[in-house]
Amino acid sequence: MLKVISFGEALIDLLSNKLDQGASEIEKFTKFPGGAPANAAVAIAKLGGNSYFAGMLGKDSFGQFIHQSLVEQNVNTDHVLFTSDEKTGLAFVSLDDNGERNFEFYRPPAADLCFRSSDFEDSWFFEQGIFHYCSNSLTESSICHATDSGLELAKKNDWLISFDVNLRVALWPKNIQIAAIIEPFIHKADIVKMSKEELDYLSEKQNQSLYIKSLLNQGVSLILITDAGNPIKWYTQSNQGSISPPNVRPIDTTAAGDAFIGGFLFHLSKHLITRSKLLDWLKEVNNIENSLSFASACGAHAVSIYGAFPSLPSQSTLQPFLSAS
């Protein structure tokens, strides 16, 4: 089993109890540990992977809650740091009748943005592994620079690199060219996952087929496009295809994408797919589709349960969804 480091933000999801905002009941929010990279780390750990989370938490009750939650889910927290400079970030999450989310972020400032390049250690990358990150660690110059430093260490040690765009426009400063910042980081990854909406945003007015081809020509080996319950599309230099995810009624989509990419990376880790082995592995369409079927079952599991960490599957709870895929 390869080591997998998920780097970036961990924050508190405060999940509303109300689907209908016009209802007379008093709205209440329940805290759940969250943040896309933290969710991915838990997804990998719950499936039985060698999962590490790397990031900065606040020295506050929320930071301690997230840390304890990671430990309880068997995520290795040796690469988790704490700061007194800022508090742990918060996200208030409301859901509509289809389980789709509306976020109100209290970030920046936040502790996860305090991680610096010097906080990475060479020893984290001595064994073979996979480095996973998202665009929320690119929203400010200092954390963007730190992310780049982590990528350089991963590349130097020939780690497989995974990037989930996971775009949250509300987290970015106004009047900034978001796509221009994200684009170079897409090119640094071997595997890129984005939603259909993120593809629309990043490709802007370009022909999307040409945009995807340009990413593949600039070094990306595999592109995964999710689209809620619609078919998941995949692209490599030599092939493309799609698979249909299990048909489930979503009640909370908060961690769906994180469960999906976590399941996919777990599968790669389990089969010891290093960066040097990836291109040969991608030549077999069955390899891709088997891993995507497993990953899509993980995503289906996640949308059927409230919260982020609680919705992520174990091998045993995943079985009904594998049977349905």
Residue 187, pLDDT score? 97
Average pLDDT of the segment spanning 255-261: 97
Q: How far is CA 235 from CA 47, 232, 240, 314, in A?
A: 26, 10, 4, 28
Question: Where exactly are the structural domains of the chain?
Answer: 3-324
Confidence at residue 319, expressed as pLDDT on a 0 to 100 scale: 94
Q: What mean pLDDT is predicted for residues 21-44?
A: 86
Confidence class for position 26, pLDDT limits 50, 70, 90 = confident
Q: Quote the mean pLDDT of the chain.
A: 94
CB atoms under 10 Å from CB of 90, counted, come to: 18
The region of weakest confidence among 25-29, 75-79, 250-254, 260-264 is: 25-29
Please say if the pLDDT value at position 98 is more than 70: no
The pLDDT assigned to 205 comes to 80
Poorest-confidence range of 20-24, 113-117, 292-296? 20-24
Q: How confident is the model at residue 282 (pLDDT cuts 50, 70, 90)?
A: very high
Question: Of 138, 157, 134, which Cα lies nearest the Cα of 257?
Answer: 134
pLDDT value, residue 15 = 84
For 102-124, the pLDDT digits (tens) are 789 999 999 999 999 999 999 99
If you average pLDDT over residues 247-252, what whole number do you get? 90
- Split at pLDDT 50, 70, 90, the class of 21 is low
Provide the β-strand partners of residue 7: 54
pLDDT score for 306? 86
- Tokens of residue 55, six digits: 């990031």
- Determine the Cα–Cα distance for residues 115 and 196; give it in Å rounded to an integer: 30
Residue 255 has pLDDT above 70, yes or no: yes
- pLDDT 10s digits, 229-242: 999 999 999 999 99
Q: What is the mean pLDDT of residues 276-284?
A: 98
CATH of domain 3-324: 3.40.1190.20
Q: Among residues 245, 255, 248, which one has the least CA distance to residue 95?
A: 255
pLDDT at 23: 55
Q: What percent of the chain has pLDDT over 70?
A: 96
